[in-house]
Amino acid sequence: MEEHYILKNIENILKEIPDYVHLIAVAKGRSLKEIELCIEGGIKILGINYVQQGEKIYPFLKDKADFHLIGHLQTNKIKKALNIFNMIQTIDSIETVKEIQNRLKSEDRKMPILIEVNIANEKNKFGVPPENLFDFFSEISKFDKILIMGLMTIGPNTNDENIIRKYFKKTYNLYNQLRNYKSANVNFKYLSMGMSDSYKIAIDEGSNMIRIGRKIFLEQN
């Protein structure tokens, strides 16, 4: 029998990316069956956009993969999110951090997070504007129930590779400036950047965590 295209897709991506790059399979809109297949293909991290989807598949897959939240986190979903996700990649507000702090105050653990950066200052996009990043970072690094592990960006909404590259460079530059900061609540080591159409550029520009949906779950020709 011929190998399923999801397995083939993952094989092909793994072949072309360096070992240090973490490959996240973005599960939005995919069935449990498709997601199970991608785990069979070697995926160890699932990227989840909605807490609700996470909740639905978590009981079946919690021992088989890590769950990373890559969509916006609403305040009323924080409690649930803390019980499902190994990492929240979309932190962009102090209120969310305060709520996490409050929810975890009696627990002996920290929630690993990435700060989402709205690197091209796009309207209607979540994320901290780059000019506010250092202030935001220093403010949230005081909270001991989070562990700040790096930056995440979606990148600008364009097909122009030069523009994409320019903003990925800019994000890497910010990442690099924060990378050597050491504290109990900071262990900066992930730059989550690059999707199906942009991951090669992203890796070129310093990404070590890519979030791939279509190129894993759709048949390639």
Ligand X SMILES: *Cc1c(COP(=O)(O)O)cnc(C)c1O
Site residues, ligand X (CB under 6 A): 26, 28, 49, 70, 154, 195-197, 211-215
Pick the closer one to ligand X by CB: 26 or 178: 26
**Residue whose CB is less far from ligand X, 185 or 196:** 196
Contact 73, 96 (CB under 8 A): yes
Three-state SS at 85: coil
CB of 1 to ligand X, least distance (A): 27
CB of 174 to ligand X, least distance (A): 18
CB of 198 to ligand X, least distance (A): 8
Q: What is the three-class DSSP state of 146?
A: strand
Least distance in angstroms from the C-beta of 108 to ligand X: 30
Residue 8 backbone phi and psi in degrees, to 5 = -65, -45
For residues 27 and 104, which CB has a smaller minimum distance to ligand X in the complex? 27
User: Hunting for tokens 């999801």 — which residue is that?
Assistant: 6
Q: Scan for tokens 């939005």, then name that residue.
A: 28
DSSP one-letter code for 213: S
CA angle 134, 199, 46 (to 5 degrees): 80
Residue 105: CB minimum distance to ligand X, A: 29
Is 132 strand, coil or helix?
Answer: helix
Q: Which is nearer to ligand X, 68 or 145 (CB)?
A: 68
Joined tokens for residue 42: 């070697």
Which residue's CB is nearer to ligand X, number 145 or number 215? Answer: 215
Residues 88 and 207: their CA atoms lie apart, in Å, by: 17
